[in-house]
Structure 1
């Protein structure tokens, strides 16, 4: 059944992006100056989870690299590389400048110096989940280097601005903003149809089933593709030529569970502690969560930072927030959800 498994994998960047022409053109125009050896404006790409922010950024960057030889690119997941050292190291490593850097003993300032001294091709730096950086000054350093073009990806513009100091707020507000909305069902159907065309055997899934997947995914392309991938994998293991409705039902739960588990595994140690506190004693308000967190954490973060953790976990469907800001309580998201066969 599966002809090309790459097409169904998370992180796959297709040759064509469905229903994002305006956003592709906008980001391309922002980065275009680097193809002429000129500095480019910083781009801020925002939108909810599953709208293709990362895919769009990587797609546009690869298009530029196909057009111009003297353009490089580096991608940093700031949720995983959330410290200043990890972020700078990842960029330098992608550029081949970490041979004599020791993770335990090299000063942070030396990494910044190396970036300042870099004299190779201009570089597009994609900072994904940029609001997760513990030290947002990384953005300031990179923003000030003309040989680097920044693409900052975040779910919510307001939360990104709240995570940085005033000098960065001013610079980011004056940057080019590419805002992305959730997909409609018809758009998700087209995305799925394209993945089926290139990744699966003909007639392995019906149009009606694809529409059910789109409806169940509620605008989240990552979830929609995950459901299709899980169902196709089940059919492939069972040597079936078609995806059945029963396979779709199981695939919906499996895809949600996989996404949730991946998000949990991506949490930083402090975020995971906050998550565990809510899990063990839900529902809890921010004040109670922070009190327990400070009792258990080594070098606890500020109350504002913990509130941003809670907001981020709510955005990624790990926690559910109920009530106003004054009486808000957090609990774990119920794993039950609408299936594509209902």
Structure 2
């Protein structure tokens, strides 16, 4: 229950968002196709948790609905997405990942139309080949739930053909948690995973305050502090344990995000780390020199935007006056 992938039995403080999302999926229970749903919001606000919870609830209410979760950090191109969706249908037995053409995967997915198939495409703005969204949009038995950070950036980076089809679909918007909401979330996790008296409400409030609306960070701090207490054979958490857990948790989550970056994003991050600050033009020139197959300037802007959302880098200024630098928290982690 302290892991990012944990889906609680009850999702709190997201009733409005869950009701909206569940309502969009209701037609499937009535034998009708459902529209694509798009979920937007910053990191750590419950987007993934709600998407997976809504899909699990749908699956429990219908025996003939198939579901699949795809993390586009790992499955970032057309082939990988199609393969993952076929894997969810148990139709990859004779597929050779190195030699089977992508069109064969698409044809097989198109023909697997016996039951409705609801797919969550998490971090969908990380996709390098967004045309796969058009492939899936054209299949009437597939319903997509798209999860991304920034609504404006996501739609701005779609081709005209895809933009015209997705902009009319329903959006579910998420805001950061309030402090008391984070405390409730932490309290539920503590009650499920810790003995009575291990952590006090005041300490949960301290953790929530440090997390600044981000449940991922809050849960991570609680996890790290609990791990440190167990290592020290302490029967309960202390303020010192929590305070030392904060930078450790932020560094751990940051490294986890860096490890998930694509090769091109990691190159960009390393170049920025080598400079106090760097302009877009200089950054792109250095990137071109380090990559055998550099992506377009537009793709690089998309990569940098994603890294900003995850607080790996900061950007100031506009157009030619724009500069990139490591975020202050990233610099602190490097120096600690």
Aligned mates of 1:87, 1:329 — CA distance in 2: 34
C-alpha distance in 2 between matches for 1:200 and 1:172: 44
Secondary structure in 1 matching 2:328: coil
1:266 aligned residue: 260
For 1:120 and 1:234, the matched residues in 2 are separated by: 50
- Secondary structure of the 2:274 match is helix
Structure 2 residue 28 is matched with structure 1 residue 42: no
Spell out the pairing of 1:98-117 with structure 2 (5 A cutoff): 98-117=92-111
User: Do residues 257 (structure 1) and 258 (structure 2) align?
Assistant: no
The aligned residue for residue 294 of structure 1 is 288
CA distance in 1 between counterparts of 2:276 and 2:119 reads 39
Taking the aligned partners of 2:225 and 2:235, their CA distance within structure 1 comes to: 12
Match of 1:236 in 2: 230
- Pick one of 146, 158, 161 that aligns with 2:155: 161
Higher mean displacement: 64-73 or 326-335: 326-335
CA drift of 1:238 comes to 2.2
The answer (yes or no) to whether the contact 2:271–2:286 under 8 Å persists in 1 is yes
1:25 equivalent in structure 2: 19
Is the contact between residue 227 and residue 248 of structure 1 (CA under 8 Å) also seen in structure 2?
yes
Give 1:201's match in structure 2, choosing from 183, 195, 198. 195
- Distance in 2, matches of 1:141 and 1:22, equals 31
Query: Which residue of 244, 248, 255 maps to 2:242?
Result: 248
Could you tell me how far apart the structure 1 residues matched to 2:3 and 2:199 are?
18
| Displacement after TM superposition at 1:336 (Å) | 7.5
Q: d(CA) in 2 for partners of 1:172 and 1:159?
A: 14
1:215 has 2:248 as partner: no
Q: Distance in 1 between matches of 2:317 and 2:213?
A: 24
Aligned-pair Cα RMSD in Å? 1.4
Matches within 5 A, 1:117-136: 117-136=111-130
Q: Deviations over 1:229-248 (max 9, x none)?
A: 10111112222221011110
Q: Distance in 2 between matches of 1:207 and 1:324?
A: 44
1:81 is the counterpart of 2:78: no
Alignment partners' CA distance in 1, 2:291 and 2:86: 32
**How far 1:337 moved relative to its partner?**
10
With over 3 angstroms needed to count, the CA separation of the structure-2 counterparts of 1:95 and 1:173, relative to structure 1, is same
Instruction: Give SS of 2:177's match.
Output: coil
Give the Cα separation in 1 of the matches to 2:59 and 2:135: 24
Taking CA–CA contacts closer than 8 Å with sequence separation of 6 or more, which of the two structures ends up with the larger relative contact order?
A: 1
Aligned pair in 2 of structure 1 residues 262, 67: CA closer, same or farther (>3 Å)?
same
1:70 aligns with 2:70: no
Deviation per residue, 1:172-220 (Å, 9 max, x gap): 1111100000111111111111111111111111111111111110110
Match of 1:301, SS state, is: coil
Alpha-carbon distance in structure 1 between the residues aligned to 2:331 and 2:300: 28
The SS at the match of 1:193 is helix
Distance in structure 1 (CA, Å) of the matches to 2:215 and 2:331: 16
Runs of 4+ in 1 over 4 A off after TM superposition: none
* Unaligned ranges ≥5, structure 2: none
2:134 maps to 140
Give deviations 1:266-310, integer Å, cap 9, x for gaps.
000111111111111231011111111112211211111111111
Q: Is the 8 A contact 1:35 1:70 kept in 2?
A: no
| Shift of residue 140, structure 1, vs aligned partner | 0.6
Distance 1:326 1:182 in 2: 32
Whole-Å separation in 2 of the counterparts to 1:131 and 1:301:
16
1:16 is matched with 10
1:331 aligned to 2:325? yes
